[in-house]
Amino acid sequence: MHLRAGNTRAAMGVRLVLAFNRAVSPPSVGALMAKRAEDSSAFVQQMRFVGRAGGLVKALRGFKKSHHTVPDAVNASTTGFLAKLCADELAEEAENFFQQARAAFGYKRKDLTLEVTSPTAVLSAKDFTLELAYALEDTDPASYAVTRALHGLRSGDFTATQECEAVFAGQFSELAFVLTKGAPVEAVIDAVEGLERDDDAPLSVEYPSDCRDCTLAVAGVSATVRFDGAELAMVFARSGSPRELLEAFVAVREAFALSKRPVLAGLLK
């Protein structure tokens, strides 16, 4: 495949994304973590594992049907209302993670702290940071979303430990890279749309009218690549542990490379 003549701006944007991915993409799963600070500091501000869940506001323990009303908008008032409603669930989940981490990793009191300020909680350990956050859904304020984000991993070996597997099994479905210096979303979209089409396994890109982000996909691959100019995320169909997501990332990268589509292969090279 070749970029159409004159698509200079798109090519420049893609080259920036390609350079970033060459910096963060390792020959092995362990190297992805171990060499992150050394090799990708100019490109990556943070790498994190993200998990998402949610439910109906009226199903939260703090919601009393006799005198509470389901939110119909997202604003400071309803966000504060949610903070009160989800306090029990948030505190319970955060405490469970605290106790599991303490037992699994053999942490002492000084090795980890838990701060709960509904609707958020932060578990800070010597090997990682875990953040929990509740928020109303913008498109459906009667529902809430729970986001779990694991970041600040101290070493590449952490995700391969049995302890990490036990504490975080089945928790995450996204592997995200926050870029120090990104690329224009429009440039990536233009580059993909400027490619000659190959009907046997077409590369596709989806995006909203304001081009605030784009999602890349290729037929036969179960994960998608989401890019918003500042963050690149691999989104998987099935949740797993950090180790499983890193292994899946490598497998997806190889599958994209085998597609023989330079732009897609380059994004994950």
pLDDT of 87 higher than 60 = yes
Over residues 186-201, mean pLDDT: 72
- Select the more confidently predicted residue: 4 or 126: 126
Q: How would residue 255 be classed by pLDDT, with cut points 50, 70 and 90?
A: low
Instruction: List pLDDT tens digits, range 48-63.
Output: 999 999 999 999 999 9
Q: What average pLDDT does the structure give for the chain? A: 81
Average pLDDT, integer, range 92-101: 98
At 267, the pLDDT band (50, 70, 90 cuts) reads low
Q: Is 20 a residue whose pLDDT tops 90?
A: no
**pLDDT classification of 191: cutoffs 50, 70, 90:** confident
Average pLDDT over every residue of 102-120: 97
Q: Is residue 25 predicted with pLDDT exceeding 50?
A: no
DSSP assignment string, the chain: --PPTT-HHHHHHHHHHHHHHHHH--SSHHHHHHTHHHHHTTTEEEEEEEEEEEEEGGGSTT--TTT-----S-SHHHHHHHHHHTHHHHHHHHHHHHHHHHHHHT--GGGEEEEEETTEEEEEESS-EEEEEEEEETTEEEEEEEEEEEE--S-TTGGGSHHHHHHHTT-EEEEEEEESS---HHHHHHHHHTSPP-TTS-EEEE--TT-S-EEEEETT-S-EEEE-SSEEEEEEEEEE-HHHHHHHHHHHHHHHHHTT-HHHHHHT-
Looking at residue 43, its pLDDT comes to 61
